[in-house]
Chain A
Amino acid sequence: MSAGAKKRIMREYGECMADMPPGMKINFDEKNMTEWEIHMDGPEDSMYAGGHFLLKIMFPSEYPFKPPVVSFKTKIYHPNVSNDDKGSMCLGLLRPDEWKPPNKVVSVLRLIQTLLTEPNADDAIEPSIANEYKENRKEFEKNAKDWVKRYAK
């Protein structure tokens, strides 16, 4: 990773600390600055309220010309998070063909929070959960809350 990219990550970290979305905390290791650990509380106005989620943000070696990679280490029942051991989230500005080098990490954090409150069923990575979200909201909410209890306490 180039010196410029490292400088950029340091700067992004500073900006996140100054303007942290509520309910989030970053574990930043200066020796391994390309991998951030995020502790996030489920937003109060969502099905995920009361849950505590661990996420990782990985900065690829081509950063900022490739998007950071966001993954949920805590299992979550959500149409935009893959239901596997990766728990990857890849939509909107995080998509490689939509990523813009000047995008900020703090806007990535905000995107994650917004998606927990309002899943985007039209751009889902888990079509069956998206379907349930659209057609059987009650069942979806029940499952989501159930998973919070099982995995995110």
Chain B
Amino acid sequence: MSGSAYIPTDEELANLQQLSREYEPEVTGPLVGERQSSTAITTEYANADPVYRVKTAALPSKYSHFRTCRGDGNCGWRAIAFTYFETLIRLGDINKFQDEKTRLQSMNNLISSIGYSEDIYEGFQEECWDLLVALANAIGNGNAAQVLLENFNDMGVSMNIITYFKLLTSAWMQTHSADYMNFLLGQTVKSYCTQTIDPVNSEIDNIGIAALSEALLKPIGFALDVLYLDRSPGEEINVIHFGATENDALSLPYPRPTLRLLYRPGHYDILYKAEDIEVQQPIPSQAPLHVALAAGYTDDFVPMDSSMSDVMTMIPGLYPTGLGQRWPSAPYDYDPIPTPQPQPQVAPVPTYAPPPTAVAPVPTSHQEYATPVPSSHVNHQHHSTHHGIQLQPPVSLSLNHPPPPLTIERGGPFRPSMYELEPGFHSGQQHTLPFQTSIFRNSHYNTAHFLNPDFQPEEWSPDAEYSTSSRSRHKSSSQ
């Protein structure tokens, strides 16, 4: 055997080639999985290369959850399609679903212009329209996420939608060829699309992601972050941004709703930040607002139409009627005696980190304020009974006992703010915040001035320290 080289015949080679061509790896698992904690990724890489270990260890603090996609050669396409619908659900605006159908339909001329007849691609599209309608209905019933997951785990539905998005990508690239031709290493845009975008089971690559983001995500104001987990040096996973940016039209929602993918060579999964997971309540349609106007003021009041309500909520200081409707189970009653209360069964409401400025009280409802208490020994029982805001106390006297984050009641309708700290912000900073106010910095209460942190300036008398005559008195007082 070792002496003579084995030369396979043509027939055998052809056979092998045939086998390798027909080989399909065994793929298991749901097409799109349930959302789970991203610590599972860290665990998966616990014994891997140190670069992976460091990068995945840092992952859960920023991206709390992830969702697997089946690696059947379409995972990137499926991940983007799924998160596109999921982000629409997160916006919670039923009108958006119809708007999206109208917008996408208006791009049909692009698909027709690259030579596909409508009767061929409308089959793929219809599945997309059906899903948009189903989701819009499901939002009212509160089970949209479930409906989406079920639909995407139906091979037919998900393949129709993927095929439609591929056609859209292909059509977009071929009608905007100047934007892409320089990235194709000499290939024409047409041949690139024919070989890389159009065939079934051809995975999306960077150029495809860029084109799909332009066609599908950017016009509706969605951004797409792809995290590349690879062996490149660094302590964090590299992120590449696609889709809408900060600089795009201001009419788009802000901050940009963001789809997030985790790329590991050859495979895409879906990532979430904690802030992405909020349960969006349907925006209640507005009852006409009645305002007692000054006498003689005759302008007819024009009630807001319901599609405006979400815009109104974004205007600082303005809030639609039915204050608190979006926090249906948030208890408002002020409890003067801090007694432990049973944890109310509320829908999970996201944890809002404090804005860097003081929390402005909303004057229309009574509520508790975060009282900065210079000690960790505050009564936490009361404060932790409601879903809450994580607050670091602004000052603390104890260097040895960093107080745990205070949880204060989120009794009032604080609006989500673009200035919020990212969830997980505190996880990296468990140490006590230094004294930050300029007044306190110079105060003699600031223990940073003293070599001995246990030194208590108010108990110290310089006379006692330096006067030999009263030395004994000082000693007795300190014992």
Contact = CB atoms under 8 A, between A and B. Distances in A.
A36 interface: no
Interface residues of B, number: 26
Contacts of A64: 123, 163
A7 interface: yes
Interface stretch (A40-48, A69-77, A93-101, A109-117): A93-101
Contacts of B116: 102
Contacts of B198: 100, 102
A136 interface: no
Nearest to B160: A4
A127 B200 contact: no
Interface in B5-36: 10-11, 13-14, 18, 21-22
Interface residues of A, number: 24
Contacts of A98: 199
A81 B268 CA distance: 38
Contacts of A96: 21-22, 200-201
Contacts of A97: 21, 199, 201-202
Nearest to B194: A100
Interface string A48-91: 00000000000000101110000000000000000000000000
A25 to B, nearest CB: 23
A71 B167 CA distance: 29
A104 to B, nearest CB: 7
B interface majority secondary structure: helix
Contacts of A148: none
Contacts of B202: 97
A59 B127 CA distance: 20
B159 interface: yes
A101 B22 contact: no
Nearest to A99: B200
A66 B14 CA distance: 23
Contacts, number: 56
A32 interface: no
B199 A128 contact: no
A66 B200 CA distance: 8
Given A4-B160, A66-B200, A101 B124 contact: yes
A28 to B, nearest CB: 18
A104 B116 CA distance: 10
B42 to A, nearest CB: 35
B10 A127 contact: yes
Contact of A65 (B14, B121, B163): B163
Nearest to B124: A101
A11 B126 CA distance: 15
Contacts of B18: 125
A62 B202 CA distance: 16
A14 to B, nearest CB: 9
A101 B163 contact: yes
Contacts of A8: 123
Contact of B120 (A2, A62, A65, A102): A102
A7 B201 contact: no
Contacts of A99: 199-200
Contacts of B10: 127-128, 131
Contacts of B121: 102
10 contacts: A7-B123, A8-B123, A64-B163, A97-B202, A99-B199, A100-B199, A101-B163, A102-B124, A104-B120, A125-B18
Interface of A: 2, 4-5, 7-8, 11, 62, 64-66, 95-102, 104, 124-125, 127-128, 131
Closest 5 CB pairs of A and B: A127-B10, A100-B198, A101-B163, A65-B159, A2-B156
